């Protein structure tokens, strides 16, 4: 990279965000132009600051990272997006790539790997951490081998899974709405969709399903 690349950091943990900023600020090729602690602000800043790269976490209150990736790519297709997260699960990896992420790196990566990832993504390539790359390849091969229909779990969106978890933890619609910066009607819609997809009729049945899937621990 011959000129400084403008980077927007999106991370909801203040200390971690400061650490990432301090780390990247050591690189002469990188200029940190802004910070955000949620997806909604990330989308707004992507428009006002015109970064070359958005370095984003996934799990955040309000609009999460995956939703913001979709919005950023739709509004500003020239902006590159690199996911920096702790999540190694297939659901997060594939959801991020489907949303349009240009790279996926884990938070336990070294500074050198992060620099390589940024350079690769800014060079027009897709970068995946080694462990993630193996998962993607295996997932592709598994998909290629079978055409079996999706399970009910696979039909749930990332947001629906988040709502399911909070419902199973006993939270009210108002709490969930405030947590995600949504309207209560939107939360009610999510709950309705969940009950239809899961073929359940009340919160207790939703909780039982969430326990089965490991979203929450059983109280027993």
pLDDT value of residue 147 = 47
Report the chain's mean pLDDT, rounded to a whole number: 87
Q: Is the pLDDT of residue 137 over 80?
A: no
pLDDT value of residue 94 = 84
- Supply the CATH classification number for the domain 5-143: 3.40.50.2300
User: Which tens digit of pLDDT belongs to each residue from 170-194?
Assistant: 999 999 998 888 899 999 999 999 9
Q: Is the pLDDT of residue 141 over 50?
A: no
User: Which tens digit of pLDDT belongs to each residue from 35-47?
Assistant: 999 999 999 999 9
The domains of the chain are located at: 5-143, 152-212
- Residue 43: burial class (beta carbons within 10 Å; 0-12, 13-18, 19+): buried
pLDDT band at 24 (very low <50, low <70, confident <90, very high): very high
pLDDT value of residue 145 = 47
Q: Is the pLDDT of residue 86 over 50?
A: yes
CATH class of 152-212: mainly alpha
Beta pairing partners, 6:
31
pLDDT band at 143 (very low <50, low <70, confident <90, very high): low
pLDDT value of residue 219 = 56
pLDDT band at 14 (very low <50, low <70, confident <90, very high): very high
Exposure letters 3-34 (e unless 16+ CB within 10 A, then b): eebbbbbbbbeeeebeebeeebeebeebebbb
pLDDT band at 216 (very low <50, low <70, confident <90, very high): confident
pTM: 0.68
Contact (Cβ atoms closer than 8 angstroms) between residue 58 and residue 69? no
């Amino acid at each position: 990279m011959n000129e400084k690349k403008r980077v927007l950091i999106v991370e909801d943990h203040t200390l971690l965000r400061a650490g990432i900023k301090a780390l990247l600020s050591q690189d002469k090729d990188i200029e940190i132009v802004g910070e955000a602690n949620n997806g909604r602000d990330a989308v707004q800043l992507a428009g006002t600051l015109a970064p070359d790269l958005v370095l984003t976490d996934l799990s955040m209150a309000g609009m999460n990272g995956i939703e913001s990736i979709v919005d950023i790519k739709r509004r500003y297709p020239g902006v590159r997006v690199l996911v920096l997260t702790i999540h190694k699960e297939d659901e997060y990896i594939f959801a991020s790539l489907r949303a349009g992420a240009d790279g996926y790196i884990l938070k336990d990566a070294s500074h050198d790997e992060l620099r390589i990832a940024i350079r690769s993504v800014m060079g027009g390539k897709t970068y995946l951490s080694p462990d993630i790359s193996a998962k993607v390849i295996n997932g592709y091969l598994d998909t290629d081998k079978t055409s079996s229909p999706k399970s009910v779990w696979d039909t749930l969106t990332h947001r629906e899974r988040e709502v399911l978890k909070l419902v199973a933890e006993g939270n009210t619609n108002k709490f969930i709405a405030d947590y995600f910066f949504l309207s209560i009607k939107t939360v009610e819609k999510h709950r309705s969709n969940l009950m239809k997809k899961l073929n359940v009729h009340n919160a207790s049945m939703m909780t039982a399903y969430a326990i089965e899937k490991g979203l929450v621990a059983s109280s027993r």
